[in-house]
Structure 1
Amino acid sequence: MNKLFFRLLVLLMSLSLIGIILVQVYWFNTSFKNNDEQFKFHVKQVIGNVANNLQKQEEYNFYDKINHYKDSTGKVPKKDDILEFYYVQKNPRTNETIIYSNSIISENYNISPTFFDKKFDSEKFKNFSSKRVTEVYNNNSIDKLGGNQSLIPDIRIEKEGNLDILDNALFKISAKDVLSAMPLEERVSSSVLQKLIKKELEEHGIETKFEFGIYSNNLATKIKSSEFKYDKDATYSIPVFIDNEGSSKYDLLVTFPLKKKFLLSELVSITVLSIVFTLIILIAYSSALNQLIRQRQISEIKNDFINNMTHEFKTPIATINLALDAIRNPKIIDDKEKVLRYLQMIKDENKRMHAQVENVLRISKLEKKELDIIKETLNVHDIINDAIEHVNLILEDREGTIRSHFGALRTTVLLNDVHFTNVIVNILENAIKYSPNVPEIDIFTENVKDMVIIKVKDNGLGMSKIAQKRIFEKFYREHTGDIHNVKGHGLGLAYVKRIVDDHNGQVYVESEKGKGSTFIIKLPLIN
């Protein structure tokens, strides 16, 4: 059930994390598309305004030129009445008559062909004005009037003024006809067009590089920026210089080479925050998952440790109990030789249990940094020889051999005699313990730069790649079938690692399953 719950928890956490990442990706894509649509909308406004401004500016220049010409000729224009409008209204109750008249007068100006650089014949441009009169007659004065008598209105209101609407309409029609026949280079320049586009872009908050060009019937013209290149995804177009029929042979194209970069820059701050928070969640998730897995491993390792410790204590305790029962036996208590043998057995088993307890306490003190390590100048070869003496009895019991190959010429190192001897002893005991056949151990020393290298090679079981990474962890032991078939608690190599680290050295292992292991210790020399 615990394993199922653990797997379900990991699955749910993983799905949640993946969901958060997918939501972030979806949000980013959606925001990018929204920004792209907003960009497109603003650019359409910009080029629409530019097209309108181009048309207005061109028409204004044309009007201004016409007006200057009219003012400079000094000719009196010819006037024609082109429309007269009358309106009469009589109120029978009050006998009041209202007569309204409106006369539209045109002023004709003849423009010589030289004004148009001889591209056109003589053109006529007109100004329109109106004269509006309102007359009011009371008391049937109109009915009483007879013969050639003139009638004077009781009220007369007279107004005159220009008809700007007609003027503008005529000017626009004429201007479009005249200007449409002119070459594009005379109607607009690249510099003017660039300023217009730049101004509009700045007003709409679009601060990115742009290029532009005007095309005529899908062919490029000379009016363009130096680096203009058509890009389907980043180019926007609009007709310019529309004629009186509502069509145009020119299109203004504006492209943005850094469009994607500009759109991303608007999202960069919120995107960075999103990535940071996602990374925090990812790190927290990884850490939590790692802690969960590690807690499971520690739980399994501790159970393994307790089982091994129990097993190892049960054997000496059982041996001591049997020895005590034997001593109490009346047949044996009088046999001095047997009593002494059983007492020695009790002493050895007690010593063995004491050693196991000391090993656990030693690691505990190392973790609490309560273990005093006083170092002195020593010869590495002497320490190795002392360690070999400590394991000689165990080695003889297994009929094994240790061969020394001392190749190091410089061997003076700052060491703690007791602890570093224990380091070598632990490695040698492991080499003997994990050798299923007769143990054959080789110890090598050599100098590499300012280091002395110690290698302990055995012909034991070897270990997997996973075990090589974790072999120096506290309580870790690689299983070799039966959990109790090799004595130990997984504390010896953790102790080795800690002592070597305290001597500013390094320890690691090279091994292959079924081909033995080589433990390598590197220590700094005293110059």
Structure 2
Amino acid sequence: MSLSLIGIILVQVYWFNTSFENNEEQFKFHVKQVLGNVAEKLQKQEAYSFYDRYNKLKDSTGKIPQKDDLLEFTYVQKNLKTNKTIVYSNSIIAEDFNISSSLFDKKTDSSKFKNFSSKRITEIYNNKPLDNSMLDQSLIPDERIEKSGSLDVLDNAQFEIFYKDIASAMPLEERVSIENIQSLIKRELEEYGVKINFEFGVYNSGAATKVASANFKYNPKNSYSIPILTDNEEHEQYKLMVSFPQKKRFLLSELVSITILSIIFTLIIIIAYSSALSQLIRQRQISEIKTDFINNMTHEFKTPIATINLALDAIRNPKIIDDKEKVLRYLAMIRDENKRMHAQVENVLRISKLEKKELEIEKESIPIEDVINDAIEHVSLILEDRNGTIKTHFNATRTSVLVNDNHFTNVIVNILENAVKYSPNPPEIDVYTENIKDMVLIKVQDKGLGMSKIAQKRIFEKFYREHTGDIHNVKGHGLGLAYVKKIVDDHNGQVYVESEKGKGSTFTIKLPLIN
């Protein structure tokens, strides 16, 4: 069970670490996609800005472009099996625009920008094998396809080269703004479902620039980077760095619900395991206690039975049977030993009946001091045999309580007998009463062996007896104080003990007064 429990906990820890790493990888993947989109949009926004200014300026010139370039190439494809020849020709015309450099706020010479258009012709000759020399002749093709129009690809390519050269010479603050970058990153993160605070900064060749958020601090563990605003040679002059100060908390928040459930179920298993283990230990302790109880009961019964047998044998002796005084003495011994065994059996039966709630306890209003005095009278013979003393200190002014006279007398007797039993020297016992609010307190204090902290917690358990070391004359079966607890609880009272090893014990009973 222990190995299984440890295995379950280790599997849970492994699962949590793996899930956290997977979440981190997924987060990293999303952030890279976000940064890629941001870099692309920054590049496009800069291009659109230049393109818009260029179109406005081109429209304002009102000049007709001059054609000064004619690029033409021809491609011939022959099929020897079918004698089919395909001739493809393409003429590219470049038209110049003289654009003033004021477009880019630069005091330099005029810049040239060209617009490209093309004329594309495809001719198909069937069953006419042609040589390269025959292409210049005026041959009529079997099929002719002609297309014309502007070449946006070439226009865009030239424009991109044109604006990147100019933009790379401009200060970074004129190309991008903090607000724009922040807006782009936030929008992209929201689209990927990553709702987390972030900070960013732009670095120029490894050095920080002024384009950064207020609280940006570079942290290799929580930061990601991507090149932005590359030039025509794809040089990575600028890098956008984005950091996530609360990255760990964000990743953990995604696991918090399933982790809490996992912890709860693991705790349930631990509690169940602990309970089972506790029950096993408890059962073993109970088995040991019951064995001790049987041994004690056997010993308790063995002595009076032996005494009775001896007394009976003595009475049967012809020399003794005629001696009336001796016969009466032996009969008294038999009666006392029989009472002793009967009292022990009654203790066991009383506990059993109390647990089954079969013992009827009728209560009446009695002054508690009368009950105490009655109990002291019961133990007076035992006390005299040990040369002990009992002193009473009745300080309570209100003493009327609702109790069962017989059972509560037995409660006090049991506590007093314990005080006598566990006092190696002649017992010195003090009994106190006092009032606290609507309660009366009864304290029985002795100067005997005392008990350990562990014993104080378990002293009212059935069958429990603390080992008394080298003192073997302390007999009993661990039922007296269990009986005390049951009776006091039935009277809506409380009983507890304060003790110190070697200095004695104080038993306190707290009972409600009758108003």
Q: Considering the TM-score relative to the shorter chain, is it more than 0.5? A: yes
Q: What's the offset of the Cα at 1:50?
A: 1.0
After alignment, is 395-404 or 64-73 more displaced? 64-73
Within-5 A mapping of 1:508-523: 508-523=496-511
Deviation at 1:99, TM superposition (A): 5.6
Query: In angstroms, what is the RMSD of aligned CA positions?
Result: 2.8
Question: For 2:28, which of 40, 59, 67 is the aligned residue?
Answer: 40
CA-CA distance at 1:310 after TM superposition: 0.6
Partner of 1:7: none
Residue from 306, 315, 321 that aligns with 1:327: 315
Amino acid at match of 1:47: L
TM-score by length of 1: 0.90
CA contact (8 A) 1:81 1:103 kept: no
SS for the counterpart of 2:232 is coil
1:153 to 140, 144, 151: 140
Q: CA, structure 1 residues 118+142, in 2 after alignment: closer, same or farther (shift >3 Å)?
A: same
Count of residue pairs the alignment pairs up:
512
> Which of 135, 158, 165 lines up with 1:170 in the alignment?
158
Partner of 1:5: none
**Cα drift, residue 255 of structure 1:** 1.6
Return the offset for 1:93.
Answer: 10
1:390 to 353, 378, 394: 378
Tell me what 2:415 maps to. 427
CA deviations on 1:53-97 (whole Å, 9 max, x unpaired) are 211222233223323332332210111224222456789999998
SS in 2 for 1:518: strand
Task: Go from structure 1 to structure 2 and tell me whether the alpha carbon gap of 1:140 and 1:425 turns closer, same or farther (over 3 Å shift).
Answer: closer
Q: In the alignment, what sits opposite 2:228?
A: 240
Counterpart code for 1:125: F
Partner of 1:348: 336
- Within 5 Å, which residues of 2 pair with 1:149-228? 151=138, 153-154=140-141, 156-228=144-216
* Other structure's SS at 1:501 match: helix
1: distance between equivalents of 2:9 and 2:313? 70
Deviation at 1:137, TM superposition (A): 7.6
Indicate the residue corresponding to 1:271 in structure 2. Answer: 259
Match of 1:124 in 2: 112
Deviation at 1:429, TM superposition (A): 0.5
> Which residue of the partner structure matches residue 249 of structure 2?
261
Residue number in structure 2 paired with 1:8:
none
SS at match of 1:430: helix
1:243-301 Cα offsets, whole Å, 9 max, x none, are 11211322112122221111111111221121011101110111011111111110000
- What is aligned with 1:506? 494
Distance across 1 between alignment mates of 2:79 and 2:394: 140
Could you tell me whether the CA contact under 8 Å between 1:378 and 1:415 is conserved in 2? yes
The 5-angstrom pairing of residues 352-367 of structure 1 reads 352-367=340-355
Tell me the equivalent position of 1:282: 270
Contact 2:297–2:477 under 8 Å retained in 1: yes
Q: 2:362 aligns with which of 374, 387, 410?
A: 374
Counterpart residue type for residue 501 of structure 1:
D
Partner of 1:69: 57
| Residue identity matched to 1:247 | H
Partner in structure 2 of residue 26 of structure 1: 14
Partners of 2:327 and 2:62 lie apart in 1 by: 152
Unaligned runs of 5+ in 2: none
Q: Is the 8 A contact 1:142 1:151 kept in 2?
A: no
Query: 2:84 touches 2:128 (CA, 8 Å); kept in 1?
Result: yes
Q: What percent of counterpart residues are identical?
A: 77
Could you tell me how far apart the structure 2 residues matched to 1:480 and 1:88 are? 118
What TM-score, normalized by structure 2, do the two folds share? 0.92
The residue type paired with residue 349 of structure 1 is E
Match for residue 309 of structure 1?
Answer: 297
Q: CA deviation at 1:371?
A: 1.9
Structure 1 CA distance, aligned partners of 2:194 and 2:163? 33
Q: Deviations over 1:317-338 (max 9, x none)?
A: 1111121222222222222222
Look up the match of 2:47.
59
Letter in 1 for 2:309: N
How has the CA–CA distance of structure 1 residues 21 and 483 changed in structure 2, closer, same or farther, with 3 Å as cutoff? Answer: farther
Q: Structure 1: any 5+ residue segments left out of the alignment?
A: 1-12
Number of the residue aligned with 1:230: 218
- Equivalent residue letter for 1:153: I
Aligned to 1:294: 282
**Displacement of 1:39:** 1.1
State whether residues 391 and 429 of structure 2, in contact with CA within 8 Å, keep that contact through their aligned partners in structure 1.
yes
Given that residues 84 and 129 in structure 2 are in contact (C-alpha distance below 8 angstroms), is that contact kept between their aligned partners in structure 1? Answer: no
Instruction: Give the whole-Å Cα distance in 2 for the aligned partners of 1:253 and 1:388.
Output: 90
* Alpha-carbon spacing, 1:281–1:140, altered in 2? closer, same or farther (3 Å): closer
- Contact 1:311-1:484 at 8 Å conserved across structures: no
**Letter paired with 1:205:** G
Q: Aligned in 2, Cα 1:89/1:245: closer, same or farther, shift over 3 Å?
A: closer
